[in-house]
Amino acid sequence: MKKLLFLFLCFYVFGHEETACAEKKVPILVYHSIAEYNGHGSKELYVTPGNFEEQMVFLRDHGYTLLTFERWQDIDHVPKPIFITFDDGYKNILNAYAIFQKLRTQHFKPMGTIFVISDFIGRSNRLSNSDLKMMANSGLFSIQSHTVTHPDLTKAENVGYELKNSKEQVQKITGKPVIVLSYPYGNTNDKVISEAKKYYRFALTTTPEVFSPSGVKNELYLLPRIYVKYSTTLDELINLVK
């Protein structure tokens, strides 16, 4: 009888541990423009400030913990970890900054990661040096690399330059470490990954999945992300982050 009980307990404990590991899911969301669509560019790359705020309120009210990649190790120690990322460094991400400030409380600290194209910083529709420094110093945003000129790295001849120089330029502006790369267009290959590992601890694709640790080779340089689009409803977002 005791032997049967022991076997049952072993099965229960180890079975549940395996299930917990298998079910570990970490959504990484990607946004571009947080603004009303003005007729220029792809409408689906916009999310209105109203919808963005509604989405962040949902995450706050349902116990999600917003992280940046400096806190990657916390995915195993906080409830419902999730990453909010923004590609390209558009000026209208200041709308997200204002919403984060509005929603911040003693118990909820919204955080996001902005991937900037370093040669585009300061253009009329892009965040400026002072914007980036302010946002980095706020503790609400981590500023990271989206390369120097946004080429398809799988076809570029100067991959090392694109990765090294963008890292150095952004670090010079913010005074904070740059440890993450967002691949332009989400494209990568073995050669690009090999180069990225020289300068970064993580790299992000646009493979539309929720991240679930599996231990596969280079998984931290193949992190998937889920697009949040103009047409994404709150119900759809809820299903995406489950």
- What is the CATH classification number for the domain harbouring 111? 3.20.20.370
Identify whether 97 is part of a domain.
yes
How many structural domains does the chain have? Answer: 1
Both tokens assigned to 142: 């981590």
Q: Which residue has the tokens 């982050």?
A: 241
Residue 56 within any structural domain of the chain: yes
In a domain, 12, yes or no: no
Write down the pLDDT at residue 127. 98
Quick check: is 149 in a domain?
yes
Q: Give domain status of residue 169, yes or no.
A: yes
Q: For the residues 42-48, what does the mean pLDDT come to?
A: 97
pTM: 0.90
> Residue 159 falls within a domain, yes or no?
yes
Q: What are phi and psi of 176, to 5 degrees?
A: -125, 155
Amino acid at 44: E
pLDDT (average), residues 147-157:
98
- Residue in 121, 220, 125, 221 with CA at minimum distance from that of residue 174: 121
The answer as to whether 10 is a domain residue is: no
Domain membership flag for residue 15: no
Mean pLDDT, rounded, for 129-146: 98
Per the structure, the complete domain to which residue 123 belongs is given by 22-241
Model confidence at 23, pLDDT cuts 50, 70, 90, reads low
pLDDT at 24: 85
* Distant-in-sequence contacts of 228-232, Cβ < 8 A, 24+ apart: 228/29, 228/30, 228/31, 228/47, 228/55, 229/44, 229/45, 229/47, 230/37, 230/43, 230/44, 230/45, 230/46, 230/47, 230/48, 231/44, 232/47, 232/51
The per-residue pLDDT for range 153-202, each reduced to its tens digit, is 999 999 999 999 999 999 999 999 999 999 999 999 999 999 999 999 99
Q: What is the mean pLDDT of residues 118-126?
A: 97
